[in-house]
């Protein structure tokens, strides 16, 4: 197939056409059609496709929430071409056979699916998985996401193996004994007598893992970082030469406890939504490049799992379809950061973490999306391609909308 994207703004700045032939970008500039299908994108942004290493595709075991196929549709609707899927499935992704099965299932899907293997068998925190064989089968990283690996000797061994293999270990940094509740430890939570997930749970977990990673020279990646104190610990180890990277979610960047109704189960997430002061500090760190990239922690749940009293609601929000528009609306249009900087944190850096290259250059595979930067839209359930609808931006108005996405060289989504 040959496509000519006519009249777009490359990276939101430079007017140019893009010719795509057999899945590759073959020419950028002033291009004539010559038999290609012409797609008029007049004046709209043409941007490198996004990548997200932290997604819950729920397969196998929870297909009523999401599958590899439905998560792919959600991803391309949001401008994504690559996602990393977490191993807290049922059974968990804790063997080389499971990794191979998921890779095989993903081959013909519209986005690149990259598999995170479990650190411990059954994600039970006791016995290490066959990490070497899982790595050979295609796992790009290891994590018991959803749970912290509490036993320090197990985690230390995992870090030693990860260091030998040169793969990142992703920590869900919450000491469980300090994170038994469902709300941030702040004035709002205290007032309503909620059970807490203290910011200290994150800070202490990061300290232990970063300290051990620095000892053995492993790459530790902190999932969904949410507290300034936790970030400070991660950065202090980085300054001393340790390989520590971090990611933050759109919901931790954009919501705080004094902006959301405390009883709304939609916003029950782990780690919890933090205070406005914490949120401001995290936005500031994100803007300065002290947090490496954005990950959605896309966590789909069925209605009946979310529409429950706060204490019973499943933790997590879905968000691949809205992540870019939400951050464009609330960080770029408000002048907090440039479009280029946002793209570095949502495309180049997470793609690098996944071990793939995404670039708008001649000769590259076509992984890009067209973004109507002026569109204003109210997020409705029918806009979500995920099998679940637990999106925190439902009913909210966002600026800028994904019009089409090329992923793995193919036109994978078009509104
Ligand atoms: Zn997690």
Domains and CATH numbers, the chain: 2-45+365-414 (2.30.40.10), 49-354 (3.20.20.140)
Q: Is 297 a catalytic residue?
A: yes
Q: Ligand 1 centre from 236 Cα, in Å?
A: 22
Hey, what are 129's tokens? 């998985």
The catalytic position among 145, 209, 297, 383 is: 297
Q: Ligand 1 centre from 211 Cα, in Å?
A: 20
In angstroms, the CA 167 to CA 164 distance is 8
In angstroms, the CA 209 to CA 171 distance is 8
Distance of CA 58 to CAs 48, 88, 221, Å?
A: 27, 8, 22
Q: Which residues surround ligand 1, an ion (CB under 5 A)?
A: 145, 172, 223
pLDDT category at 180 given cuts 50, 70, 90 is confident
The answer to which of 25-39, 188-202, 286-300 has the lowest mean pLDDT is 188-202
In angstroms, the CA 317 to CA 267 distance is 7
Q: Ligand 1 centre from 203 Cα, in Å?
A: 15
Contact 414, 79 (CB under 8 A): no
Q: Ligand 1 centre from 6 Cα, in Å?
A: 41
| pLDDT digit string, tens, across residues 236-289 | 999 999 999 999 999 999 999 888 877 788 888 899 999 999 999 999 999 999
Which are the contacts of 408, defined by CB distance < 8 A and separation ≥ 6? 23, 81, 110, 111, 112, 365, 367
Residues counted in the chain: 415
Q: Ligand 1 centre from 172 Cα, in Å?
A: 5
Q: Ligand 1 centre from 209 Cα, in Å?
A: 15
Q: How far from the centroid of its chain's Cα atoms is residue 399's Cα?
A: 20
Q: Ligand 1 centre from 273 Cα, in Å?
A: 13
Which are the contacts of 407, defined by CB distance < 8 A and separation ≥ 6? 49, 75, 76, 80, 81, 82, 110, 111, 112, 367, 413
Share of the chain above pLDDT 90, in %: 86
pTM higher than 0.85? yes
Residue 8 pairs in a beta bridge with 16
Contact 16, 8 (CB under 8 A): yes
Q: Ligand 1 centre from 270 Cα, in Å?
A: 7
| pLDDT digit string, tens, across residues 380-404 | 999 999 999 999 999 999 999 999 9
């Amino acid at each position: 197939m040959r496509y000519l994207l006519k009249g777009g703004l490359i990276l939101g700045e430079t007017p140019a056409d893009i010719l795509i032939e057999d899945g590759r970008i073959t020419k950028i500039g002033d291009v004539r059609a010559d038999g290609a299908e012409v797609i008029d994108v007049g004046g709209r942004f043409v941007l490198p496709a996004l990548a997200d290493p932290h997604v819950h595709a729920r397969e196998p075991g929870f297909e009523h929430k999401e599958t590899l196929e439905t998560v792919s549709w959600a991803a391309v609707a949001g401008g994504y071409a690559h996602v990393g899927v977490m191993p807290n499935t049922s059974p968990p992704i804790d063997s080389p056979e499971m990794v191979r099965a998921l890779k095989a299932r993903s081959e013909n899907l519209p986005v690149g699916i990259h598999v995170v293997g479990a650190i411990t068998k059954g994600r039970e925190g006791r016995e290490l998985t066959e990490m070497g064989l899982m790595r050979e089968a295609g796992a790009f990283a290891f994590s018991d996401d959803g749970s912290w690996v509490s036993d320090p000797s197990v985690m230390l061994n995992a870090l030693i193996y990860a260091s030998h293999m040169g793969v990142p270990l992703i920590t869900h940094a919450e000491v469980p004994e300090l994170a038994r509740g469902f709300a941030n430890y702040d004035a709002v939570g205290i007032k309503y007598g909620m059970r807490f997930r203290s910011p200290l749970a994150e800070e202490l977990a990061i300290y232990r893992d970063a300290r051990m990673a620095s000892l053995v020279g492993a790459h530790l990646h902190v999932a969904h970082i949410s507290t300034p104190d936790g970030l400070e610990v991660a950065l202090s180890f980085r300054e001393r030469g340790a390989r520590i990277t971090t990611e933050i979610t759109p919901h931790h960047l954009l919501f705080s406890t004094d902006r959301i109704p405390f009883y709304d189960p939609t916003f029950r997430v782990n780690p919890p939504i933090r205070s406005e002061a914490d949120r401001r500090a995290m936005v500031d760190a994100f803007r300065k490049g002290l947090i490496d990239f954005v990950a959605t922690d896309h966590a789909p749940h069925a209605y009946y799992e979310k529409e429950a009293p706060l204490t019973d609601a499943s933790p997590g929000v879905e968000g691949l379809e809205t992540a870019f528009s939400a951050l464009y609306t609330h960080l770029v249009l408000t002048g907090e950061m440039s479009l280029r900087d946002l793209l570095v944190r949502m495309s180049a850096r997470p793609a690098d973490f996944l071990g793939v290259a995404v670039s708008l250059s001649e000769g590259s595979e076509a992984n890009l999306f067209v973004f109507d930067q002026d569109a204003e839209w109210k997020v409705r359930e029918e806009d979500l391609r995920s099998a679940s609808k637990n999106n925190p931006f439902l009913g909210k108005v966002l600026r800028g909308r994904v019009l089409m996405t090329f992923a793995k060289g193919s036109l994978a989504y078009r509104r």
